[in-house]
Amino acid sequence: MDPIANRFSSLESELEQVSLRQESQEVELKELQKRCMLLESERDRYRKEKKALETKLEHMAEQHRTIQAHMEKIRERNSRVEKEKAWESSLFRITLLVFLTYVVTSLVFWTIDIPRPMLNALIPTSAYYVSTLTLPFIRRWWIGRQSS
């Protein structure tokens, strides 16, 4: 065989191997492209999920702030109610109202010419004072009946 034909045959064989490698690499490239597309799709899905979770987290944080604000309002109201309740049962308030009841009743009795207005004013004043002593007991009894 002639050296040129050998060389030509060798080059054809080499070209065929290169062609096969190229086809193999093209197949591999297509597979890598498919994998890349799948990974991009998965990345997009994760981004959407992340965005949805961030939105949900923001919504929950807003709900938390709203609940905290409501709780603070309730605490303020409870504090105010406790102070008002303390005022209602305070010795200072009862003494003040007993004194004012006595003064006003004495003046009214004196104005309408009732004999001994200062002495007679003790009756409604005493009645008011007794009501401050007995009403808490009656209130507790009444509340107990309402609860059951």
Task: Evaluate if pTM is beyond 0.85.
Answer: no
Which pLDDT value is given to residue 143?
84
Q: Assess if residue 43 is contained within a domain.
A: no
Which pLDDT value is given to residue 82?
94
Q: Assess if residue 119 is contained within a domain.
A: yes
Q: Assess if residue 46 is contained within a domain.
A: no
The continuous run of DSSP H or E covering 31 comes out as: helix 3-88
Q: Which two tokens stand for residue 10?
A: 């060798």
Which pLDDT value is given to residue 138?
80
**pLDDT (tens digit, 0 to 9) for every residue of the chain, 148 residues total?**
688 878 878 888 888 888 889 999 999 999 999 999 999 999 999 999 999 999 999 999 999 999 999 999 999 999 999 999 899 888 999 999 999 999 999 999 999 999 999 999 999 999 988 888 777 778 788 888 887 7
Which pLDDT value is given to residue 37?
95
Q: Quote the Cα angle for 127-128-133, to 5°.
A: 95
Q: In which domain, by residue range, is 96 found? A: 89-148
Which pLDDT value is given to residue 57?
97
Instruction: Name the domain count of the chain.
Output: 1
- How far CA 87 is from CA of 14, 78, 92, 127, 146, in Å, comes to 107, 14, 8, 20, 24
Which pLDDT value is given to residue 11?
82
Give the SS3 label for residue 76: helix
Place of tokens 């409604």: 124
Q: Assess if residue 55 is contained within a domain.
A: no
Which pLDDT value is given to residue 39?
96
- The b-or-e profile of 64-86 (16+ CB within 10 A means b, else e) is eeeeeeeeeeeeeeeeeeeeeee
Which pLDDT value is given to residue 1?
61
Q: Which two tokens stand for residue 109?
A: 């009795």
Q: Assess if residue 124 is contained within a domain.
A: yes
Q: How many CA atoms lie within 13 A of 70 on its CB side?
A: 6
